[in-house]
Structure 1
Amino acid sequence: MESPCCMLELVQYIIIFIFVVFILCSLAVRITTHPYPDIITHTQEKYYNGKEGLFPSIDSPWSLDLSVIIPAYNEKDRLPVMLKESVQFLEGRKSTYEIIVVDDGSKDNTSQIAQNFAKSYGLSSDKFRVLTCAVNRGKGGAVRMGMLRARGKNLLFADADGATTFSELLKMEKELGKVERNGQGLVCGSRAHLQDESIASRSLFRTILMYGFHLCVWLFAVKNIRDTQCGFKLLTRQSAALIFKSIHIERWAFDVEMLKIAEMVDIPVSEVAVKWTEIDGSKLNPVLAAIQMFRDIFLLWLRYAVGAWKIADKLD
């Protein structure tokens, strides 16, 4: 039997080993990582509706009340239903708007379906635009592409499945009006109030993944938002410009980074319960997505902690 003294020495060696590995990993991350995201824009991505016109920049002054960004990948079946609900709601208001459908390199005819929808509803390119990405970037990359080309004073991104009732935008706008400070603000739609119901219908494995993900987010990224992944978020133009010029993650965990950035630069953030219904047709593999998200969130924390990632334009 080993003596307590030997056991203590072993623990000390293990701690030293872990510390050295962490330092070496941190140095490697710092040396090999670009501090700012490389946002590559292909020629076709500068235009909307094929080559009907050039997109503006988010650095230009706003000219509409609201821009709605809808990332879509192989969404020819679900997208029309979501667009119909959105347009009916937006057309019933006096405020000005635009919808930007960002086709994230779909293998189906998502872009054509979106353009056909606009024609059937008589929507001009001033109200409805399609951005067709040259490559598949991931949901975060698609949202970024739309955000950086939007004209709205406020910008909403909404998932193409229409899981969140679109009229919940009214709650979001009201909350944004309360929290906005110096042109900065972000409001997250939240399904946290539905958690007990969702646990009852989920398998044990998926429930464990969910709790593990929430713990990982809380430990390494965001502590003040219960539901970081709901695809219904409203931002002011200034906040969208700062956040989406800085985001590095282009896949599923991009929501966590956008909230992490908001927390780091003191952008006011709030959360509003929304009506949400699970829609069939998700292309997300929960196991693979969980592995990727856990990895991305840990590396997100590490890269910001060691200064490898930086924020493009910090608030004054």
Structure 2
Amino acid sequence: MASRKTSHRIRENGDKYSVLLPTYNERENLPLIVWLLVKYFGESGHNYEVIIIDDGSPDGTLEVAEQLQRIYGQDRILLRPRAKKLGLGTAYIHGVKHATGNFIFIMDADLSHHPKFIPEFIQKQKEGNYDLVSGTRYRGNGGVYGWDLRRKLISRGANFLTQVLLRPNASDLTGSFRYEVLNVFCEYSNTGETVCVTSGICCFIHSRLYKKEVLENLVERCVSKGYVFQMEMIVRARQLNYSVGEVRPKFIFLNSY
């Protein structure tokens, strides 16, 4: 009975959470990530919508998304596809235009960040009325699974340099999900994989929770369109004196989008 009362109170507060899911060749992961989102939002009692932005995936991701929409309903699953792959940053910009929630989650569809941490993001935001909440691998119980020592060292070094050069006051600027390159090249000798680094900064796209008006303001100011988009947003957020909260989810490295 207590849980039902809690869910009722949550629904009454009027908050709605829009989850932006950019996809490219995610037909296998999409059903599970959507099911998990429905599960954890349903259990918490928060109002939500999932906006899938598919960039012309050749593997049939959009067809899978259409099936999921039929299963969960058009009020929960919104499809906003694009004709071709135009970049992750622009996918988020596109999704924001269609979001009806007053809070927006941006995250990957490849399960590298588990939706079970969503309630922690929401709770953290409420605790301090933060303008945005980001996950960090580098405080408390945060962590990364699936990386070798070299990747971990590069990520640590990139974050240190970023903190010194840009001083964004967030412990994990590069955040969560994707390896990105910018100006200097590093090669993994064991795999031949090339990682591009710009100004000594590696970028991983992170799951973050934003107040909608904050995200709208940031995307209008950002000039980056690819993976660097997320890193630019956190720097600009600090420049604009937005408050940033942090939680400590586990991160699983997967190759996707």
With structure 1 as the length reference, what TM-score do the two structures score? 0.61
List per-residue Cα deviations over 1:29-86 (Å, max 9, x = no partner): xxxxxxxxxxxxxxxxxxxxxxxxxxxxxxxxxx861111111111112222111111
Match in the other structure for 1:171 = 120
Q: How big is the alpha-carbon RMSD for the aligned residues of Structure 1 and Structure 2? A: 2.5
Give the whole-Å Cα distance in 1 for the aligned partners of 2:212 and 2:142.
Answer: 35
The reply on whether 1:223 has 2:168 as its aligned counterpart is yes
Which residue of 190, 211, 217 maps to 2:136? 190
1:237 to 190, 204, 212: 212
Q: Which has the larger radius of gyration?
A: 1
Partner of 2:101: 152
- 2:28 matched to which residue of 1? 77
Cα pair distance change 1:162/1:215, threshold 3 Å: same
Q: Which has the higher strand share?
A: 2
Shift of 1:167: 2.2
Contact 2:145 2:250 in 1 (8 A): no
CA pair 215-105 structure 1, distance change in 2 beyond 3 A? farther
Separation in structure 2 between the aligned mates of residue 269 and residue 250 of structure 1, nearest angstrom: 22
Could you tell me how far 1:133 is from its partner in structure 2? Answer: 1.4
Aligned to 1:22: none
Residue by residue over 1:197-227, the C-alpha shift from the partner in whole angstroms, topping out at 9 and shown as x without a partner, is 75995143x3443234223422443431122
1:218–1:112: structure 2 CA closer, same or farther, 3 Å change rule?
same
Kept in 2, the 8 Å contact 1:164–1:277? The answer is yes
Number of residue pairs matched by the alignment: 214
Change in CA separation of 1:106 and 1:199 when aligned onto 2, cut-off 3 Å? closer
Q: CA deviation digits over 1:168-220, x for unaligned, max 9?
A: 11111111112326xxx00002222489975995143x344323422342244
Q: Does 1:213 align with 2:165?
A: no
SS in 2 for 1:106: coil
> Which residue among 231, 234, 240 is the counterpart of 1:259?
234
Contact residue 222 and residue 259 of structure 1 kept, 8 A: no
Gaps of 5+ in 2: 1-13, 177-205
One-letter identity of the residue aligned with 1:116 = Q
Change (3 A) 1:268 1:174: same
The one of 86, 92, 96 equivalent to 1:137 is 86
Residue type at the aligned position of 2:36: E
- Write out aligned runs for 1:24-173 (5 A): 65-119=16-70, 121=71, 123-173=72-122
Distance 2:157 2:86 in 1: 26
Give the SS at the match of 1:133: coil
The TM-score normalised by the length of structure 2 is: 0.74
- 8 Å CA contact 1:221–1:257 kept in 2: the answer is no
Say if 1:200 and 1:105 are closer, same or farther in 2 by CA, change over 3 A.
closer
1:276 aligned onto 2:225: no
Q: How far, CA to CA, are the matches of 2:253 and 2:146 in structure 1? A: 14
The separation in 1 between residues aligned to 2:219 and 2:231, in whole angstroms, is 12
From the superposition, tell whether residues 222 and 80 of structure 1 become closer, same or farther in structure 2 (CA, over 3 Å).
Answer: farther
Contact kept? 1:148, 1:244, Cα under 8 Å: no
Deviation at 1:102, TM superposition (A): 0.9
Is the Cα–Cα contact under 8 Å of residues 27 and 59 in structure 2 kept in the other structure? Answer: yes
Percent identity, aligned pairs only? 22
Structure 1 gaps of 5+ residues are: 1-62, 285-316
Which stretch has the larger CA shift, 206-215 or 241-250?
A: 206-215
Higher helix share: 1
Amino acid aligned to 1:67: S
How far apart, in 2, do the equivalents of 1:165 and 1:198 lie? 12
Q: Are 2:225 and 1:250 equivalent residues in the alignment? A: yes
AA matched with 1:83? V
Pair 134,71 (structure 1): closer, same or farther in 2 beyond 3 Å: same
